[in-house]
């Protein structure tokens, strides 16, 4: 009898754990369809293709073109990734493989502190440092005129924001690689850099890619810091020094202020759904690359 009761409890626990494991997937589906439901009035009034690829944004005239906001989001995020990915990888390699233990232990709390700072602090820092740097130095160096409030400024601020997050994850990836693997490589005559390049990076490639995905996911959804430095100009950026208007800034700037405008609430919900889809697409592509890397290794 006791054995039968134990089996029933085991089956119940198994079902509860299985149900809990599917909860994140259900939450994603519920959130996405909730956004689509709120955006339905706009989707019924205009075609999705027109909404996505039109550059006309005039809510009072009923024109809701999301193309400038989509491109602004992509510009800022890609700049942040291009700047932060190599820097964070190099910092992680130095701290993991070259730095003395004392330096490593001092750096870890500082990285965690940077990762936990509120985004508004990064935004103020961007206004005081990055915007003047872009407007007065980088733009002048490239022979163009810019106020400094641009997608480049937004991308640089985002790069600084996601750098500690990516670095922290890569450090954890390197830490789980057995030290014996490094010692075996060194004992065969490989230099320290050859060991890093051919052993550490190869073993940690899936984890490094996951760190980049985590950083980009944060960059895609970041609002306050980008809103403060990107310029908030409704146009498709043509260069690094043009202003932009990412989707998170659009939602944060306007939600609650212009709800009396017909279809405006639906437009902002559709903007959130588009951002949601961008995050899912990027994660799917990263998972595809990760799957190919693991397949090659096996």
The pLDDT tens digits of the residues spanning 156-170 come to 999 999 999 899 889
Neighbours of 253 (CB within 10 A): 15
Chain centre to alpha carbon of residue 150:
19
The torsion defined by the Cα of 79, 80, 83 and 86, in degrees rounded to 10, comes to -120
Q: 131: Cβ–Cβ under 8 A, 6 or more apart, which residues?
A: 147, 148, 149, 153, 229
Q: Which residues of 50-67 are buried (b: 16+ CB within 10 A; e: fewer)?
A: ebeebeebeeeeeebbbb
- Find residue 163's DSSP bridge partners: none
- Find residue 244's DSSP bridge partners: 231
What's the pLDDT tens digit per position in 191-247? 888 888 888 888 888 888 888 888 888 888 777 788 889 988 888 888 888 888 998
Q: How much is the pTM? A: 0.85
Domains of the chain listed by start with CATH number: 52-297 (1.10.3720.10)
């Amino acid at each position: 009898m006791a054995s039968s009761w134990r089996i029933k409890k085991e089956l119940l626990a198994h079902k509860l754990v299985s149900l809990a494991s599917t909860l994140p997937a259900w939450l994603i589906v519920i959130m996405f369809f909730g956004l689509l439901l709120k955006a339905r009035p706009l989707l019924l009034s205009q075609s999705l293709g027109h909404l996505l690829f039109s550059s006309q944004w005039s809510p009072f005239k009923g024109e809701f073109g999301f193309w400038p906001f989509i491109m602004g989001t992509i510009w800022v995020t890609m700049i942040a990734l291009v700047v932060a990915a190599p820097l964070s990888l190099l910092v992680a390699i130095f701290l993991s493989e070259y730095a003395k233990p004392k330096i490593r232990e001092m750096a870890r709390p500082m990285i965690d502190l940077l990762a936990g700072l509120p985004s508004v602090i990064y935004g103020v820092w961007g206004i005081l440092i990055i915007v003047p740097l872009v407007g007065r130095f980088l733009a002048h160096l490239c022979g163009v005129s810019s106020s400094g409030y641009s997608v480049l400024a937004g991308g640089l601020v985002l790069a600084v924001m996601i750098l500690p997050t990516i670095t922290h994850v890569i450090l954890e990836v390197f830490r789980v690689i057995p030290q014996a693997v490094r010692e075996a490589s060194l004992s065969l005559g490989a230099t320290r850099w050859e060991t890093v390049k051919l052993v550490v990076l190869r073993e940690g490639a899936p984890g490094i890619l996951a760190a980049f995905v985590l950083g980009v996911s944060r960059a895609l959804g970041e609002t306050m810091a980008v809103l403060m430095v990107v310029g908030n100009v409704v146009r498709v950026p043509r260069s690094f020094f043009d202003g932009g208007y990412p989707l998170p800034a659009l939602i944060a700037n306007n939600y609650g202020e212009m709800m009396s405008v017909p279809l405006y609430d639906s437009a902002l919900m559709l903007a959130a759904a588009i951002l949601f889809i961008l995050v899912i697409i990027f994660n799917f592509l990263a998972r595809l690359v990760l799957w190919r890397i693991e397949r090659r290794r096996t």
